[in-house]
Structure 1
Amino acid sequence: MSHHDLTDDQWNAIRDFFPAKFSRRPGRPWADHRRIVSAILWILLTGSPWRSLPAEFGSWQTAYNRFQRWIDNDLWDEVYAALLHQADACGHVDRSLWCVDGTVIRAHRCASGMLPQSVENDEMNALGRSRGGYSMKLHVLTDANGLLMSWTASPGQRHESQELKRLLANSLFPVDWIGHRPQAIAGDKGYGSAEIREHIARKRIQVVIPRKSNEAPAEDFNPKTYRRRNIVERAIGWLKVSRRVFVRYDKLTSSYLAFVQLAAM
């Protein structure tokens, strides 16, 4: 058994989301789902090409096709949402503070080439050129325990603040619902525009964003609460332990974000 294999407890937590091994349609039964998921996790953690998948996991084409099929069927979304709601039911989702941040992800040369390079195509693929070279930006919203509430991707040159509204809109716990709304949202000075402050305040959420040097300090800014914002930076560090998150090898943004989701699980 590889150390990348799922444990019995991990597999039992998600096994019911996968289709039955046998179906009424003619043909061969599904390859073992547990082995396929372990193969996908091996790719996630090592960052290796699919063709380098060890023989113990079976055919690399089967693993790759299954991975893409489950993206198209929204299976990973269902699994992550269920796990997050279970964590919430056990009291592990902390709504005292949610934190937002973005990080640059270098794009490997194999991530390009799906479409001819142009501004429009790069925008579609969430790729662009920044000081760090050809890259994308991963944007995340976490709770005070580092659990991912939302994540998006954008071209590398786009500023983090432009993704905040989309992060809030995509949150698995809607921030407009009283029962799910966080008490405060923290971000660094890059999110310190008046538009963002007003957008958060309209949702009746406390704004924990420091003022820039050319602005008057906010009277209600709480430095003690702001120091807890480091959880989102640590969460990004935990995600980047997985090589498929640390470097973007995937041509499709949906594939890259699915690996982010798997790393978060």
Structure 2
Amino acid sequence: MGRGDLTNTEWGRLEPHLPAIGQRGGRWSDHRRVINGVLFRVRTGIPWRDLPERFGSWKTVYERHRRWSADGTWDRVLRAVQADADLAGRIDWSMVSVDSTSCRAHQHAAGARKGKPRIPGKRATPRHHRPDEALGRSRGGLTSKIHLAGEGGCHPMAFLLTPGEWGDAPQMIAVLERVRVPRPQGGRPRERPDHVSADKAYSSRRNRRYLRRRHIKHTIPEPKNQRASRKRRGSNGGRPTDFDKEVYKRRNEVERTINRLKNSRAVATRYDKRAYVFHGTVTTAAIRLWLRP
């Protein structure tokens, strides 16, 4: 076992949720070696062609990662791993925090061909395909943004990719609606945390109405301009928003989650041209965080 490879304990948690080896006419080789190659590339950010020989053919590793990013296999594995963690009581539903982070795009991430990419052998468009490829220009150049919901134990619950210049507040509802943890023993998936925390960038009447409608307590500071506007409108401005400073201190949990996620260099810097492949890269990094004790 090399540095960064899956341990026997981690592999035992992951293996039951992977596609069967016998699928696709027996063309798939050992999953463990290939997945270790994917994890090595996600952790180091090296070009696919420079993968060490101990992982086998670089093209096999790359194609497995691309296919599983396109057809949603990585997403299903993440949900299954989260379900196992929830069954073991390892998810802290008392607080889910939302935040975003920008990822600088490498020059090789630009220049993807226009049009919808296709999955070889299939007619469907890859999942998470974006016509804009989740690339946008900001003061730092080409960037992508990851909007993340993290639980109290510093593990990612759900995320959304957008171009780097997109605002945070409009994406909050979309991120929270992606929080969906299945229950292996039966019943509807769990989707609602007890409390949601976010910084003032997510303060909007639309977001607060959404959280109240779902009966989710929330701690979101109100910016000065919104507070002044509410006071100018008098009784029509509504009631002041509740804010608990002690509860708000837990917002650092999502920041620590982002730091752990961006320890993977292929997440901190985007090298993938296609948005759905980069989505698979971030998902793979999230799966690794859930597999660790």
- TM-score normalised by structure 2 residue count: 0.82
Partner of 2:170: 162
SS in structure 1 of the partner of residue 67 of structure 2? helix
Q: Aligned letter for 1:76?
A: W
Backbone CA RMSD of aligned residues: 2.4
Which runs of no fewer than 5 residues in structure 1 stay unpaired?
A: none
Which runs of no fewer than 5 residues in structure 2 stay unpaired?
A: 115-128, 183-187, 229-238, 288-293
What is the distance in 1 between the residues matched to 2:109 and 2:130? 11
How far did 1:23 drift?
5.7
Change beyond 3 A, Cα 1:122–1:88: closer
What is the distance in 1 between the residues matched to 2:47 and 2:169? 33
Find the partner of 1:108 among 98, 106, 109: 106
How far did 1:73 drift?
3.3
What is the distance in 2 between the residues matched to 1:3 and 1:67? 20
How far did 1:207 drift?
2.1
Q: Is the 8 A contact 2:17 2:80 kept in 1?
A: no
Q: Aligned letter for 2:84?
A: Q
Partner of 1:238: 260
Change beyond 3 A, Cα 1:129–1:24: closer
Partner of 2:220: 209
4+ runs of 1 displaced by more than 6 Å?
Answer: none
Q: Deviations over 1:170-203 (max 9, x none)?
A: 11249xx896421221110101111211121111
Partner of 2:206: 195
Q: Aligned letter for 1:10?
A: E
Partner of 1:14: 14
Q: Is the 8 A contact 1:36 1:63 kept in 2?
A: yes
Q: Deviations over 1:99-130 (max 9, x none)?
A: 000011100011111136xxxx9862011111
Structure 2 residue 135 is matched with structure 1 residue 127: yes
Change beyond 3 A, Cα 1:82–1:211: same
Q: Deviations over 1:120-156 (max 9, x none)?
A: x986201111122110111100111122221001111
Answer 1 or 2: higher relative contact order, Cα 8 Å, separation at least 6. 2
Partner of 1:3: 3
What is the distance in 2 between the residues matched to 1:228 and 1:12? 32
How far did 1:31 drift?
2.0
What is the distance in 2 between the residues matched to 1:263 and 1:224? 31
Q: Aligned letter for 1:32?
A: D
What is the distance in 2 between the residues matched to 1:141 and 1:80? 14
SS in structure 1 of the partner of residue 267 of structure 2? helix
Larger mean Cα displacement after TM superposition, 163-172 or 10-19? 10-19
How far did 1:96 drift?
1.3
Partner of 1:75: 73
How far did 1:43 drift?
0.2
SS in structure 2 of the partner of residue 124 of structure 1? coil
